[in-house]
Structure 1
């Protein structure tokens, strides 16, 4: 768990995380992917989730691809986000890597019928990208606000886990009143639950 006195602002933390992720050796990244996939599978099975809202990771993020493929082989209903012009998310059912294409902001998104912005409200588990997370369930995103808006409208009963690298876990992070606390975090080294889904 990181406690760096020089990282007091959201902007400083984002710069630090971007630099560290960019310098990660490929062999370390591949090992992290294998460990992360096992953690995500274990969490999904422990929750008995049959529907998951997830995302297609960009190259600098922890790789969710192997987990998404596993979920398809298990008959789990997976939906992925697409970014809209009004800084909100819509959702599309994931049918495989061949159904992905470049979307807004250079992020890979699914191609297919839109399910509506409220589609994530019906899933058993939500996995979200993050720059960093802390022990209290504060999630630091990348500043565009898409997930902040989405999470604010989700039912409190849906478990929401941020997917990060181990070094993206902080003791505390700066947060604003509008920030929505998440249930926990998944990284290659551990799964941490910080909130009960009934809290």
Structure 2
């Protein structure tokens, strides 16, 4: 009998969980996604970590991900410096400052215009908000499988508050992990902030 997270076994478990959640996300209607995006922004902005932060690293949501548009605009309106990722050819993330405008990028993404600040710029953030597909109560997150955010989270200064943005039902009992996977401190959903650990 193999170990729960034996090599290869975690990859299969991750694919299965990812497929299940992405299928559920595709069933969401546009009206629901918009309402949840506004609710997510309100919940995030009510958290003391976010309120106190001068610089927030975040991301631009795509498709049926929990929407970040209202949150990004609210962060800028609150006087925060907002860093957004710029996807590199090797799937690493450079960072640029969000000034309210975005430009089309590879893979259907939107990114801040202008020059990137470098991959290490995430280290200047007081709060880091990351995407994901699921998270468990140990803070183990499941991403899309490219490893971009595991690399980015490795550059975050220890003690910096990190949170994943997910829908309520995406906080699950167990997320399979590998040694390179990075954890987060909290989950922000359209209804609440869940602190881990």
TM-score by length of 2: 0.89
Measured after TM superposition, the shift of residue 115 of structure 1 is: 0.7
Q: Distance in 2 between matches of 1:17 and 1:169?
A: 11
Correspondent of 1:129 among 116, 128, 131:
131
Q: Distance in 1 between matches of 2:115 and 2:29?
A: 37
Equivalence map 1:16-95=2 (5 Å): 16-43=20-47, 47-95=51-99
Cα-to-partner distance string for 1:104-163 (whole Å, 9 max, x where unaligned): 222111111211111110111000000110000001000011111111222221111000
Cα-to-partner distance string for 1:137-195 (whole Å, 9 max, x where unaligned): 00100001111111122222111100011111101111111111111110112101114
Cα-to-partner distance string for 1:1-50 (whole Å, 9 max, x where unaligned): xxxxxxx7110111111111111122322221221111111125665111
Task: Report the number of matched residues.
Answer: 186
Unaligned segments of structure 1, at least 5 residues: 1-7
Cα-to-partner distance string for 1:63-110 (whole Å, 9 max, x where unaligned): 1111111111111100100010122100000000xx212212221111
Q: Distance in 1 between matches of 2:164 and 2:74?
A: 19
Greater than 6 Å deviation, 4+ residue runs: none
Q: Given the alignment of the two structures, is residue 169 of structure 1 paired with residue 168 of structure 2, yes or no?
A: no
TM-score by length of 1: 0.89
Native 8 Å contact 1:81 1:91 kept in 2: yes
Q: Distance in 2 between matches of 1:153 and 1:73?
A: 27
Q: Distance in 1 between matches of 2:75 and 2:175?
A: 32
